[in-house]
Amino acid sequence: MQISVIGCGRWGSFIAWYLCRIGHEVSLYGRPESGNMKRLMQTRQNDYLQLQDGVQLTTDLACCDNTETIVISVSSQSLDGLCRILANRNLKDKTIVLCMKGMDIATGRRLSQVARDALDASCAIAVWLGPGHVQEFYRDVPNCMVIDSENETVVSRLVNEFSSSLIRFYYGTDLIGNEIGAAAKNVIGIAAGLLDGHGLGSLKGALMSRGTREISRLIEAMGGKAISAYGLCHLGDYEATVFSVHSQNRLFGEKWVKGEEYGKLAEGYYTVKAFHNIAEKSRLELPICEAVYSILYEGKDAYMALESLFTRTIKNEF
């Protein structure tokens, strides 16, 4: 299969490496001004991996014109702008696979909705979600992930064409639940980092349990299946997000508590604002998300915000 990957950051470069490794013809696009792309053009490597000679590097979106499948890995808040640019190209009948985890802050839309609203109606939109870190995949540590779409035929084709001994893909059956759950796990990751920053790592078990319950209610309120929160998109991604030293969202939360700068992308920072807006409009109770929001956007002391979760009215666990 001919595949174009858009986005030359950590995850985008891994996707290009992985798809080339399992036998696909792959081109990797990055903006001409991108520092990541300039480095790849010069050395074919970054801080995470070395790209094979078979991956074609390009700064021209014309690479998308003659490929069957376009895989996108950019920041969630830049997806709308990218899709509007892509809409000017002939993408008729192409498959678009989104590999980011987030929500559009301005509109509260899921990312598949952002792509659907901007691109040709004939395009099939799919999402590639689940646990795993580039550093571990690159040293041949396997994991399980999920692909979902409103088009079951597309899900089946992508699972069959993308699966290997390194990544076992499952068929997604709840696009809404999988997208929301995947976006929300980054918020829980930041909460875990806030706990780490205060030396409260032993509370991560409670965070995982109550966090999954909270997100299951959010998924259900937004039209998805509550049980999806317990799958690979959310609970299945907790080890990689809540505990791993490679977790960008966890590290962001830890550095926030310590007052240290964090220069990398932590999608949970944007996602929690989108969830806050949704909760306000729907009057949905999301105590963990609201605690994280109050810390990041309202300047509330992290320890006090976390402590407030313990002073809430005692209730049945389920």
Identify the active-site residue in 94, 101, 185, 204: 185
Distance of CA 68 to the CA centre of its chain: 23
DSSP code string of 143-161: EEEEEEES-HHHHHHHHHH
CA distance 36 to 200: 36
258 is a catalytic site residue:
no
The answer to whether 255 and 263 have CB atoms below 8 angstroms apart is no
CA distance 310 to 300: 16
User: From start to end of the chain, where are the E strands?
Assistant: 2-6, 25-29, 55-58, 69-72, 95-98, 124-129, 143-149, 167-171
Hey, what long-range contacts does 29-38 have (CB within 8 A, 24 or more apart)?
29/4, 29/5, 29/58, 29/59, 29/60, 29/61, 29/63, 29/64, 30/57, 30/58, 30/59, 31/59, 32/59, 34/8, 36/8, 36/9, 37/8
Q: Residues with catalytic annotation?
A: 185
